[in-house]
């Protein structure tokens, strides 16, 4: 035990701490007691102690009992039991959510922890930290499981809402939470220590030999939680938070459980359980649409179900129609109570963000794609790369975005709607417009540079300088550039639409043109028609810009060329009048591709020959090599195989000095076609094999499938049905991946081998 001097020092410090805890200055306490301030100073220095006749008045001023003031002045820090008060096992869990559904995997993981508890290292408390976005059902899961597991904790259950994301914006002080737990554990109010440190020590002492289940709900961060963690291995703690509590895992060996939105089946089950099974069964399509529009977020589903229950005579399709209105979606998901309003609970999360992170979150609502990379986010917000990664990490910790694959971040639809709503209400129109310009320029300039890397034979499209704050991405080689196109394909489609909606027609059609490598190598036929229509619509509104910049179009595999030729013919004449040979050559190239699709091979050949002459006149060797291959191809289609072979080999020689491996693959494919139709099957097979190797090397799966299909024809022609089957099966698999209509033709060839 402490000696007399030490006890006096402890008593003096605790007296000062109690005075400060009740908000009194030394002068105010002295006035209440009718003594001089110097008297209080001497007490708090340990020089003297209050005289006995002053102690009852001192206890009253400090808000404690007369017995407690005697213990405080004696520095008695041993917790005493309350006379006559039974320390009953606390049962503080709130009621569980009625009709809880889903989360089978998460519940099993929590239960498994209990089953394995005997294998835990002695002295280690079991901690689960459940995190997830607002409204995802963290508390519902924690309470549902806690009620199921309560019987395995005979000493009781403690629960506290730490108000980490409360509408008031004021989290619960740790001392307040400890005070509540000590009270639940039977400690009389006058025996609860004054300081949080002493409270935490007493709390741990009381739980030392107990098996207690403790639920710390709605925590802000690790610091708020740690003083509430017991030290005994028999207890289990479940923490919920909208923030990732990685520090608890690192320092306290907590297990982390990140809660995502419900699966499709779970969301339907939840909605069905709340609105009546027969009603849901009568309108399954409406139920599926409601769950999708609610982004499978439990809170949103609960609010939608409440709206349906309030109007039992309304069809569910009417509710789906209300939610379908994107402008009023968040209003429709508001039950009038802040705790049952999607907008309100999202706002409580955003309130915890730094100003920069909150701004990036709002701007993400303007982003056109299903997800975003850190470099694109940097351009969107006009920050540097490390800054963007830091802000995205903050948003990820707050579960306002999710890093669903490494380096790519997404918001579910309701968070996206909320972010967009916040951008409109918080950021001015000039700032929003500037952010849109930056992100569109990011994708345009990056795609242009990636196109040049993947297809060097393509002349780079001249672009206006990128908006200030935009930092396009760079690529080390073909594979990296193609991977970028693959990852950003749907984002690029969204960027085109956003550009049109924002009046940026020039950027819209330019994006469509630099997307050629991904279409050319991945056979995205079905979507390409829509892209070209969008490009034409934007281009027709922006003819002057197209002519001035000498832009190029690559038609690719379109499904309806018939409406395009007049447009390109007119544009070619405009280029000719301006003396822009490159622009005219590119339009002729497009007209050749259109004529080929329509089966007008002689006309296609004429356009291609004119384009070759123009490329030669300006010294564009890469363009000349590509167009020479095209001319040879058209000769082959017209049956002039000798001329076709000669011109294609000229293209091969020229490409060796100025072109690309991808163009070389196309030339070998043209030569394979020529040799096959000339009857030299051995040469045809050799050419196709070389083409196949190059297509695979550059990642052109569409070229690979086309060559495999042709190689199968050669192998069947020379009496090798097994090798033909192998080639066609590989071609079929690729085409089916693309959902390409030519897959049916290859399947028919395979079927013919079985007859």
Contact 551, 513 (CB under 8 A): yes
Residue 734, Cβ neighbours under 10 Å: how many? 21
Residue-wise pLDDT for 484-524, tens only, equals: 988 898 899 889 889 888 888 778 878 877 776 565 555 55
C-alpha torsion sign, points 631, 634, 640, 645: positive
| CATH number for the segment(s) 646-755 | 1.25.40.10
342 in Cβ contact with 307 (< 8 Å): no
Contact assessment for residue 673 and residue 709, using Cβ atoms and an 8 Å cutoff: no
Q: Which residues pair with 215 in a beta bridge?
A: 159, 238
Residue 544 binned pLDDT confidence (cut-offs 50, 70, 90): very low
Q: Is the pLDDT of residue 159 over 90?
A: yes
Residue 336's Cβ-count burial label (10 Å; 0-12, 13-18, 19+) is exposed
Helices (H) and strands (E) in the chain, counts: 38, 8
| Residue 656, CA distances (Å) to 489, 635, 651, 704 in order | 30, 22, 9, 21
pLDDT at 622: 86
621-637 vs 661-677: helix crossing angle, rounded to 10? 20
Phi, psi dihedral angles at 564 (to 5 degrees): -95, -35
If you average pLDDT over every residue of the chain, what do you get? Answer: 84
CATH number of 104-259: 3.40.50.300
Question: What are the helix (H) ranges across 155-255?
Answer: 174-184, 196-206, 222-225, 246-252
pLDDT tier at 438, thresholds 50, 70, 90: very high
pLDDT tens by residue, 452-494:
887 765 556 678 899 999 999 999 888 888 889 888 988 998 8
Q: Which two tokens mark 325?
A: 């209105």
Extents of the domains making up the chain: 4-73, 104-259, 264-343, 646-755
Q: What is the pLDDT of residues 319-378, one digit of tens each?
A: 999 888 877 788 888 877 777 788 888 888 888 899 999 999 999 999 998 899 999 999
Give the Cα separation of 294 and 266 in Å (integer).
13
pLDDT in tens, 386-412: 999 999 999 999 989 999 888 999 998
Of residues 528 and 432, more confidence is placed in: 432
Does residue 577 surpass a pLDDT of 60? yes
Higher-pLDDT residue of 71 and 37 is 37
* pLDDT attached to residue 261: 93
**pLDDT band at residue 543 using 50, 70 and 90 as cut-offs:** very low
For 668-691, what is each residue's pLDDT tens digit?
999 999 999 999 999 999 999 999
257 half-sphere exposure, CB direction, 13 A CA radius: 23
Residue 127: which region, alpha, beta or left (left: phi > 0; alpha: psi -120 to 50)? beta
SS (H, E, C) 434-450: HHHHHHHHHHHHHHHHH
Q: Rounded CA gap, 164 and 64, in Å?
A: 30
Q: Return the top range by mean pLDDT from 208-212, 626-630, 695-699.
A: 626-630
Q: Which CATH superfamily is domain 4-73 in?
A: lambda repressor-like DNA-binding domains (1.10.260.40)
Can you spell out the DSSP letters for 536-588?
A: HHHHHTTHHHHHHHT------S-S-GGGSHHHHHHHHHHHHHHT-HHHHHHHH
Q: Can you tell me the mean pLDDT for 433-437?
A: 96
């Amino acid at each position: 035990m402490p000696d007399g001097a030490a006890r006096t020092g402890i008593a003096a410090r605790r007296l000062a701490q109690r005075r400060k805890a009740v908000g009194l200055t030394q002068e105010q306490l002295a006035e209440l007691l009718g003594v001089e301030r110097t008297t209080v100073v001497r007490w708090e220095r340990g020089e003297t102690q209050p005289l006995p006749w002053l102690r009852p008045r001192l206890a009253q001023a400090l808000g404690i009992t007369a017995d407690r003031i005697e213990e405080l002045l004696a520095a008695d820090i041993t917790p005493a039991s309350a006379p006559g008060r039974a320390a009953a096992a606390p049962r503080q869990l709130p009621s569980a959510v009625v009709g809880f559904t889903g989360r089978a995997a998460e519940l099993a993981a929590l239960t498994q922890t209990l089953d394995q508890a005997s294998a835990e290292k002695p002295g280690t408390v079991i901690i689960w930290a459940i995190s997830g976005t607002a409204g995802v059902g963290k508390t519902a899961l924690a309470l549902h499981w806690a009620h199921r597991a309560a019987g395995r904790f005979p000493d009781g259950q403690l629960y506290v809402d730490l108000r980490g994301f409360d509408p008031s914006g004021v989290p619960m002080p740790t001392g307040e939470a400890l005070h509540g737990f000590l009270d639940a554990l039977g400690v009389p109010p006058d025996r609860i220590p004054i300081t949080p440190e002493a409270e935490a020590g007493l709390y741990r002492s009381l739980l030392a030999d107990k098996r207690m289940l403790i639920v710390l709900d709605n925590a802000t961060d690790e610091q708020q939680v740690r003083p509430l963690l017991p030290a005994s291995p028999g207890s289990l703690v479940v923490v919920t938070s909208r923030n990732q509590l990685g520090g608890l895992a690192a320092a306290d060996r907590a297990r982390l459980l990140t809660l995502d939105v419900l699966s499709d089946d779970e969301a339907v089950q939840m909605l069905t359980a709340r609105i009546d099974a027969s009603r849901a069964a009568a309108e399954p399509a409406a139920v599926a649409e409601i769950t999708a529009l609610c982004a499978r977020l439990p809170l949103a589903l609960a609010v939608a179900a409440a709206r349906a229950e309030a109007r039992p005579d309304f069809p569910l399709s009417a509710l789906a129609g209300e939610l379908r209105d994107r402008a009023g979606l968040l209003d429709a998901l508001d039950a009038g109570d802040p705790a049952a309003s999607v907008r309100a609970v999202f706002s409580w999360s955003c309130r915890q963000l730094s100003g920069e992170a909150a701004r990036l979150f709002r701007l993400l609502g303007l982003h056109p794609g299903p997800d975003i990379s850190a470099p694109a986010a940097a351009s969107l917000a006009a920050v540097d790369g490390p800054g963007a990664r830091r802000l995205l990490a903050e948003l990820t910790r707050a579960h306002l975005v999710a890093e669903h694959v490494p380096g790519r971040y997404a918001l579910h639809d309701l968070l996206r709607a909320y972010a967009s709503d916040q951008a409109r209400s918080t950021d001015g129109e000039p700032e929003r417009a500037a952010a849109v310009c930056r992100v569109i320029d990011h994708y345009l300039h990056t795609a242009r540079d990636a196109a040049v890397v993947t297809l060097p034979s393509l002349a780079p499209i001249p672009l206006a300088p990128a908006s200030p704050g935009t930092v396009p991405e760079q690529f080390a080689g073909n594979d990296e550039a193609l991977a970028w196109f693959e990852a950003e394909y749907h984002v690029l489609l969204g960027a085109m639409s956003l550009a049109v909606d924002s009046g940026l027609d020039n950027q819209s059609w330019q994006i469509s043109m630099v997307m050629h490598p991904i279409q050319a190598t991945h056979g995205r036929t079905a979507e390409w028609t829509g892209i070209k229509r969008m490009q034409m619509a934007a281009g027709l509104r922006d003819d002057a810009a197209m002519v001035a910049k000498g832009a190029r179009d690559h038609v690719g595999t379109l499904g309806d060329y018939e409406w395009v030729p007049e447009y390109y013919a007119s544009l070619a004449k405009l280029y000719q009048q301006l003396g822009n040979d490159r622009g005219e050559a590119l339009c002729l190239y497009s007209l050749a591709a259109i004529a080929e699709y329509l089966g007008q091979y002689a006309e296609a050949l004429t356009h291609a020959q004119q384009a070759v002459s123009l490329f030669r006149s300006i010294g564009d060797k890469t363009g000349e090599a590509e167009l020479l291959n095209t001319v040879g191809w058209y000769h082959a289609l017209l049956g002039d195989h000798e001329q076709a072979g000669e011109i294609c080999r000229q293209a091969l020689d020229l490409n060796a000095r100025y072109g690309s491996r991808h163009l070389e693959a196309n030339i070998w494919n043209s030569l394979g076609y020529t040799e096959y139709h000339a009857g030299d099957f051995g040469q045809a097979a050799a050419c196709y094999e070389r083409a196949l190797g190059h297509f695979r090397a550059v990642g052109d799966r569409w070229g690979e499938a086309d060559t495999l299909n042709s190689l199968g024809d050669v192998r069947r022609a020379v009496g090798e049905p097994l090798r033909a089957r192998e080639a066609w099966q590989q071609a079929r698999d690729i085409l089916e991946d693309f959902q390409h209509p030519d897959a049916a033709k290859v399947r028919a060839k395979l079927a013919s081998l079985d007859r």
